[in-house]
Structure 1
């Protein structure tokens, strides 16, 4: 009898794959809710309900709204970060590929909504600003640092030069984000990335 009870209990538990799928679904639902309602107005109870989990389960994974928001930005950052080892071609081509891929992902609707949320609410929530800065460093800046380091640039220069390239590469995206405008077309992204890369590389090499 006891063995049967144990089997039933084990059968009711989600597999690791199912648990990971539920966690990922929670993140996707939370991303959409943060983008829709904003950080301040987003409700953890509503997020749990829409993700079809209990509030207790949500809090077991993320003790507060800030922890969940950080997990959302980490997930989003991993999704849009190009895999540097698979960037092929010469240095110019790798920079252009990186810039185009990042712009393509940053212009996605949810990415734009989250970016607007950060711009809008960071002034009121310093913790949000710190999380956004760390995610920027990890997922947008470090791939460029890796490219430069692999090219043989001195380590004490990589971060500063990578910062300058990212500022240049995403300048048009930021302008449209702040002042309005349609997302860039694929042709516009490529033209912009080619121009920025040419200016950048001619200035430092």
Structure 2
């Protein structure tokens, strides 16, 4: 019985980290525009990297609206650009969790979140605007797709928000609430946990049967 319990504990120890990954907050949009690390480009800027006038800072949300989804329109958030900021260590992250709301008049079909490391290698997460609510903020997960084998998750220096459509002219009207990086366990991890749990329950019933003790329900 002791050896079997040890095996169960080892199995749980191997699977538990994947099943209980912690989300890392990248941006909460409570006070989004910071001149020393937030840079708007293309038609998203009023000049000098400042946001265009139609963009609105709300209570914990930031509305990017009144422009288009052209790939030349974007905002960059630099995590390690100024002295009081530092790169993020996103080792183990598999998905970006975006909490946002589609605003009236939006025509853009996608939101791109791009991550860059210290060597400007890139990884992206693509969200379909149709997956978000138009009445309230909702959370959607998207897989992080790495575009370079040398992408360094331990030194993520920049995050970019864009519609990213070449020659795009669709209205981009989105209210951003929160961006997180997280690890979503593979389905196999859940299967292992369920299997270990079922095995433990079966062993408990057999042991109680042999000892004459009733198994707890």
TM-score interval, smaller chain = under 0.3
State the TM-score, normalizing by the size of structure 1: 0.26
State the TM-score, normalizing by the size of structure 2: 0.25
Say which structure, 1 or 2, has more relative contact order (CA 8 Å, 6+ apart): 2
Which of the two has higher C-alpha Rg?
2
Give the structure with the larger helix fraction.
1
Give the structure with the larger strand fraction.
2
